[in-house]
Structure 1
């Protein structure tokens, strides 16, 4: 029995679109389906292919079954936007992962100087809220779980019909109070800075990627990454009181942009690369000097292991087996050497920290075991030396050849491939709206090294030897 719907939104538009790719700025709509519902009754339906007048990848063609030839006689968006605008007018915009569909349509309208805004309702979030016992909530999962009818998956009108079926199901299954509470929770919004267009929040996707904050002069304030771009950006906007720097940054945000990635690894890699390249004002942790201080392992003429400090602008991957420490400053490197010397009773003369003749000063204090004057054998000293630097040294490369790491988003609409060798990213390939391959100079990067050492043990999926 259907619940009393008087407490629920009375005018809804169930919307689905298919596009040439993932970016609402650069890509275009190729298929749109709309079901307008008023007072629980379908009053209008719209099913239309759209000619994007730009190429799109074989992957999109295979997924949707829509080819460029299929769209030759279809209208462009400029021919149909008045009809679409009227269908959506005064409704709650309902879609699965609504930021994607809503963001695309806002950008399509914007190209014709039309400001479009609407309340939104995400059926993916609604499913998670009402059916929290289930793990997956993508559209295919809902179809299989509840037995919904969908003749052509990844065609816009058929997918929009699934959304209407889902909404009908929850109206039969749950009391209106529970649905209303779930909708209210989903539609909560943070305070938006005065100079930021409130509508920009509605364009942010709930997927992995990176985001950019700009001020009104287009200065880049910050680059961040997240598994859920929208959620992370909203947390910035709603927590500006937590620190003075955060408050200053949020106060100046005038524009937000983003790039979608296939997964967390792609977001981490892209953030690390772009922070160093673009040098945003509020990124501290990933902004690094072009110069690095390294500790390199050497062996003295008398057979004792030692370390020398070198200043480099880049590190050759073939040299990483000899590197036992990397530091952002000379002071940090020297302090580290002092710490290890004291903890492991290393010889300051062998480490180059004491230039006097004879035994080192620490030997007289009982802090050196006499390697400086040959009292301690090299074999015994070297074992302790290796133990001292074991935790901080660069780990050996796990593989005997380059590896390929493949990441896919939930719908496999975006696929990223990373070729990695000796902790260096040497090539990145992206497949979404088009195939692209980005060769990179194989230079060792400490941030990339940290990303890979944290992530590789957890990447049994999508990991291949080349």
Structure 2
């Protein structure tokens, strides 16, 4: 659990500043669960440059509560939380100083989004909140006011959580939470989970990831694990200490994240994705008459396939569909074995490539159209799908035919600048499993997805 905060002060000498405004949002890594926003009477003069910067003046604070009146609320909303702020050393120092004046010790773990940004989003021109937000397309309202800056910090922190492929932020949060709050009661764990699409991580008591999965309904899938009677379910039930999750909105993003995370973390109870995800692939070759033939074969060749399939039945269904869609020859696609004309020619639905009546130029153009439709070789493209929230979309990035990674963006801002887009995505390997996941998903959902060439 995190407490994301921003503090505005009077300015002045070091450790003599007073708080004029504070905003704290209790954040569980996915959504805000509580908030506290208040002007505060600092009982001291506000520096003129601060008044010009924030717009907060002494008249506005005459009837505002003094710090001792809100101290209890600050303790409550930050309890069992990691404090997160942009330049957290400043905000944490100011809070500790105010509590020391009351004779009360205030101690919390902290995270600084400036330091995290430098590590996870390198080479930015500036790491000030305003300039960084502008570069990343984060909308900021009420700049230099506590609530506005804290909300911008939340949006930035969400990006950083997504960029943290090693899951160090989340793992550290789990380690410092009180063990009593990580109830091993399976019902309690289930109740905390969403009925949404995403990836989930199951941990043991040593905070080790023992299983990673994806689902269109995380709560339903975890419930199945915790009520199942098979060997894997019983092991999970015996070992589980906590469950975390990442909402993705998009099933494509969930599939890619699941594959990537399993390969990286190698959980002891994951076996399925240690093997290849596909068994068959579509290849092309040119016959001695000059016609480009298509053939489904086992996915064990070195050459690059046009697309891949989970099994032979899926490949067979695909071939029958594209023969109709692109007016191809059954013989030259391998679905009708004959030395003469194919069945479609006999019923006047094939132009005769099977017996060299259709020109190689005309027929090969149709094969080329199919390949371009189902392959992203040499393409620069964005595959846009559902996001985690209504106002955002997920984006899978293909550059020069290579899968670069994925991210979540407000499309009105962040994909206009290619360099910013590539700096924000979570990088992933361009391996065969990821290629298969993307090709298969796009093939099944092409009408619904938005494809942007750049």
TM-score range, shorter chain: 0.3 to 0.5
Scaled by the length of structure 2, what TM-score is found?
Answer: 0.43
Scaled by the length of structure 1, what TM-score is found?
Answer: 0.42
Q: Which has the higher contact order (CA 8 A, sep 6+)?
A: 1
